[in-house]
Amino acid sequence: MKILKFGGTSVGSVDGIRAVLEIVGKSKTSGERPLVVLSAMSGITNLLAYLAEEAAEGRDFVQGLQEIEGRHFTVVKQLIPVKCQNPVLTKLKIFFNELEDLLQGVCSLRELSLQSRDLILSYGERCSTFLVSKAAEQQFSESLFVDGTQLIRTDSHFGGAHVNQALSEQLIRAFVAANPGRLLFVTGFIASSEQERVTTLGRGGSDYTAAIIGSAIDAEAIEIWTDVDGMLTADPRIVKKAFSLPILSYTEAMELSYFGAKVIYPPTMVPAFLKEIPIVIRNTFNQDFVGTTIQHDGGKAALPIKGISSIPTISVINLVGSGMVGRAGFSGRLFTLLAREQINVVLITQSSSEHSITFAIHPADALRAKSLIESEFELELKANKLSNPEIENGLSVLAIVGENMKQTPGMSGRLFHALGRNGINVRAIAQGSSEYNISVIIAQTDLAKALNAVHDAFFAQLNKTLHVFNVGTGNIGSTLFRQIQEQYGFLLDNNDIEIKIIGLSNSRRMLFNADGIDLATWEVQLHESGEPADLDTFVARMMQMNLPNCVFVDNTASEQPVRYYETIFRSNISIVTCNKIANSGKYSQYQTLKDTARRHGVDFFYETNVGAGLPIVRVLRDLMMSGDRIIRVEAILSGTISYIFNNFNGTASFHDVVQTAQRLGYTEPDPRDDLKGTDFMRKMLILARDAGYKLEPEDVQLGAILPEACIQAASVGEFYDELKAADAYFDDLKAKAQRENKVLRYIGKLEAGQVSIALELVDANHPFFALSGSDNIISFTTERYKERPLVVKGPGAGAEVTAAGVFADLVNVGA
């Protein structure tokens, strides 16, 4: 036989009950011989408890009773044909009349004993089970309503009675044997005492009924039908990527539930555990889904970690005392005291020096625990052998659970790496001696982030979700968004990486969406539902959201975002930037940013600072890290100037060619930055610094390509005017080059710690002669590349290649 137990949500609506009957039908057809256990309709038990309290206070309960009646009658009218409704409605009416009498009695006496409360609550299961059994009768004429009080015997501990297992098993077996061929619908949760008074079985009572009956009749399985897809790897309301576990051991189910998973309440399952009857958790509203099987050897399944659970609100008490804590007998006294006072200790850690004990309890118990300790250890406190117990609030427990953990090295390493990388401070650690769980205490404000980060670390179904906050939506920013949108599916399918833009801002407006901004319509959304831009708020909001794998992307050319970099790193958020300002300002700033990122274990990627998407920063870093030494660097690193010299060879004037370069997206937002050499200077400075030289911007010898009047131009408009006026000057330059069969090249050099940039005329023998378009070229002469330098060459400006470089940096964050 198989036990099918349906919870309140399954019997709480017409659709639910239809699904219940369908499941029972399928079970019958497949020859399983089901026995059905039912809870009260969802919400009814709470409502009954509330009405009982109201009645005891002399307040009105009639309206509430009508609501209960109404819910049941509605279901009868929809599920049972009219001609069969009368006897069902009559019986239910009898139940409700009894209930009304009881509540009236409570009201008259102004007294609600646990015994009367149990009796009142029992009507929840009685009504739902009777109703469902009658609806079932329409299809299965052998259906029989069974009042659980007939089958389960308890003591008289009302409100949570203790079951007389042996007697109950006898009653159950006898009843089942006396009713062969009947389809039994048994009320969950309720039982009776030896004096035949109605009792209830406490929390998870209907599951308990199912386990007791299952154990008595040696059921082949107990199916717990609820409204979720079994037990999940984590709370799906917090961890969107949580998924259902196919199989678990009893111990794992216990541990997971102890730390918060509410699908079943394992103590109620003990009778089934003892007989090794599998428990299957299934979803009434998703019947095709296999659910979770909890069985004796379920821990052997592949995953070392089965789930991550948590207790969101916990308090911690610290006890410190060199003269006391750690002495034999101290912990014994402490924890006996707490046990005697029914204070549940969630976890305990003791420092290795044994001078302190930290234990976690429920916040409601914290003050009481403190004063109990103070009186128990009064003498020790007076003698300063122990300092006053300190309470810490605002904490949570996170636990990873799995039976295979003890055979798998590195589990705690993985846990702490995930927490550390995301800047989550661990307040205390406990590993159960069984090694079925490792628990950490962290700040409550970090819980959601920690659950997600740890989930990502252990369940690498999806490698990572990057949560991106992007400033700058111009040429590069908007191209990046398009590229991410186009590549989203590929990254998800092939690299298990998901990129979500959670916040974006330009200098006018900003927009947030915790679920990720739809990149197909970001512009419209920013315009219609964005708010006025404010970088302070943008950064603060990013920090408050406290998301794992968080990245700040700077696609501006402004120094404003740079001011936040250090704070951002301190919040364990990585930065990807194509903005060169941070790395090319004062050396001390460059150094501080690098150090801060490193200390906080986050990434600072700026490949596009030099040569746009070309791999230059990365190549230099690899050379340096592998112990090579830079002897000389020669480079053309201005895409704009490269483009200009490569195209200033026909009829177009110099000033027209500059304008075309700007239109093609090669120039800085302010093209004077390119033509004055500032942009090139920044790149050379960044390279020199990455090569180990402590240089300031003014250390770079910068040769000009512009006449003085152009350099002095006060605005972009004026600059173009001056360029136009200097047409003759540039034509002369061009003519000179052509006469000598040379080309104009603006070349940067780094040698012996000196950086210079100068305009040169080079002939066909020079390696930089043959360039086209916006090409950059860089040649590294190093100890290892001494005979022939390592050369990188290709387009070094433009929105597509730059955005692609930012994109590549982004997907490498946390890699």
Ligand X SMILES: NC(=O)C1=CN([C@@H]2O[C@H](COP(=O)(O)OP(=O)(O)OC[C@H]3O[C@@H](n4cnc5c(N)ncnc54)[C@H](O)[C@@H]3O)[C@@H](O)[C@H]2O)C=CC1
Ligand Y SMILES: N[C@@H](CC=O)C(=O)O
Structure tokens at 108: 């008259």
Residues in Cβ contact with 528 at an 8 Å cutoff, skipping those fewer than 6 apart: none
- Residue 614 binds which entry of Na ion, ligand Y, ligand X, none, CB below 5-8 Å type-dependent: Na ion
Is 125 one of the binding residues for ligand Y (CB under 6 A)?
A: no
- Residue 638 binds which entry of Na ion, ligand X, ligand Y, none, CB below 5-8 Å type-dependent: ligand Y
Strands 292-294 and 279-283, by their bridges, are antiparallel
Question: Please, what is the minimum distance in Å from the beta carbon of residue 292 to Na ion?
Answer: 49
- Residue 27 binds which entry of ligand Y, ligand X, Na ion, none, CB below 5-8 Å type-dependent: none
Question: Please, what is the minimum distance in Å from the beta carbon of residue 579 to ligand X?
Answer: 4
Q: Which residues bind Na ion (CB under 5 A)?
A: 607, 610-611, 614, 616
Q: Report which residue's Cβ sits closest to Na ion.
A: 611
> How many residues are there in the chain?
815
The position carrying tokens 């066909």 is 764
Is 118 one of the binding residues for ligand Y (CB under 6 A)?
A: no
Is 8 one of the binding residues for ligand Y (CB under 6 A)?
A: no
DSSP H or E run through 709? helix 708-712
Q: Is 653 exposed, middle or buried (0-12, 13-18, 19+ CB in 10 A)?
A: middle
Residue 576: C-alpha distances to residues 23, 494, 547, 608 (Å): 53, 23, 16, 9
Nearer to ligand Y, 334 or 688 (CB): 688
Q: Which residues bind ligand X (CB under 6 A)?
A: 471-477, 505-507, 533, 535, 555-558, 560-561, 578-580, 608, 612, 639, 665-666, 668-669, 797-798, 802
Question: Please, what is the minimum distance in Å from the beta carbon of residue 760 to ligand Y?
Answer: 18
- Residue 557 binds which entry of ligand X, Na ion, ligand Y, none, CB below 5-8 Å type-dependent: ligand X
- Residue 640 binds which entry of Na ion, ligand X, ligand Y, none, CB below 5-8 Å type-dependent: ligand Y
The one-letter amino acid at 811: V
Residue 809 C-beta-side C-alpha neighbours within 13 Å: 33
Catalytic residue check, 683: yes
Q: Which of 500, 594, 683, 786 is catalytic?
A: 683
Pick one of 16, 298, 561, 796: the residue that binds ligand Y (CB under 6 A).
796
Nearer to ligand X, 309 or 473 (CB): 473
Pick one of 640, 647, 678, 779: the residue that binds ligand Y (CB under 6 A).
640
Report, in this order, helix, strand and coil percent for the chain, each rounded to 5.
45, 20, 35
Q: Kindly provide the residue ranges of all beta strands, DSSP E only, lying in 667-810, ordered along the sequence.
A: 701-702, 743-751, 754-762, 775-782, 790-795
Q: Report which residue's Cβ sits closest to ligand X.
A: 474
3 state SS for 41-79 = CCCHHHHHHHHHHHHHCCCCCHHHHHHHHHHHHHHHHHH
Distance between CA 697 and CA 782 in Å, rounded?
A: 24
Pick one of 475, 555, 583, 638: the residue that binds ligand Y (CB under 6 A).
638
Distance between CA 600 and CA 614 in Å, rounded?
A: 28
The one-letter amino acid at 547: L
Residue 227: C-alpha distances to residues 15, 158, 221, 427, 436 (Å): 12, 29, 19, 35, 27
Nearer to Na ion, 197 or 621 (CB): 621
> Please, which of residues 570-629 interact with ligand Y by CB under 6 A?
612
For residue 589, how many other CB atoms are within 10 A of its CB?
Answer: 17
> Please, which of residues 657-716 interact with ligand Y by CB under 6 A?
666-668, 674, 679
DSSP H or E run through 313? strand 307-320
Question: Please, what is the minimum distance in Å from the beta carbon of residue 681 to ligand X?
Answer: 13
Is 149 one of the binding residues for ligand Y (CB under 6 A)?
A: no
Closest CA to 35 of 183, 170, 171, 147: 183
Nearer to Na ion, 511 or 582 (CB): 582
Nearer to ligand X, 645 or 666 (CB): 666
| Residue 688 near residue 780 (C-beta atoms within 8 A) | no
- Residue 607 binds which entry of ligand X, Na ion, ligand Y, none, CB below 5-8 Å type-dependent: Na ion
Q: Is 218 exposed, middle or buried (0-12, 13-18, 19+ CB in 10 A)?
A: exposed
| Residue 367 near residue 360 (C-beta atoms within 8 A) | no
Question: Please, what is the minimum distance in Å from the beta carbon of residue 668 to ligand Y?
Answer: 4
- Residue 477 binds which entry of ligand X, Na ion, ligand Y, none, CB below 5-8 Å type-dependent: ligand X
Pick one of 19, 317, 737, 797: the residue that binds ligand Y (CB under 6 A).
797
Size of the site for ligand Y (CB under 6 A): 11
3 state SS for 4-18 = EEECCCCCCCHHHHH
Nearer to ligand Y, 209 or 776 (CB): 776
Nearer to ligand Y, 316 or 612 (CB): 612
- Residue 214 binds which entry of Na ion, ligand X, ligand Y, none, CB below 5-8 Å type-dependent: none
Nearer to Na ion, 472 or 795 (CB): 795
- Residue 674 binds which entry of Na ion, ligand Y, ligand X, none, CB below 5-8 Å type-dependent: ligand Y
Nearer to Na ion, 611 or 639 (CB): 611
Alpha helix (H) residue ranges in 80-195: 82-109, 114-137, 165-178
DSSP state of 788: S
Question: Please, what is the minimum distance in Å from the beta carbon of residue 610 to ligand Y?
Answer: 8
Question: Please, what is the minimum distance in Å from the beta carbon of residue 666 to ligand Y?
Answer: 5
Question: Please, what is the minimum distance in Å from the beta carbon of residue 500 to Na ion?
Answer: 25
Structure tokens at 223: 């199916």
Adjacent-strand bridge partners of 226: 283
Residues that bind ligand Y (CB under 6 A): 612, 638-640, 666-668, 674, 679, 796-797
Catalytic residue numbers read: 683
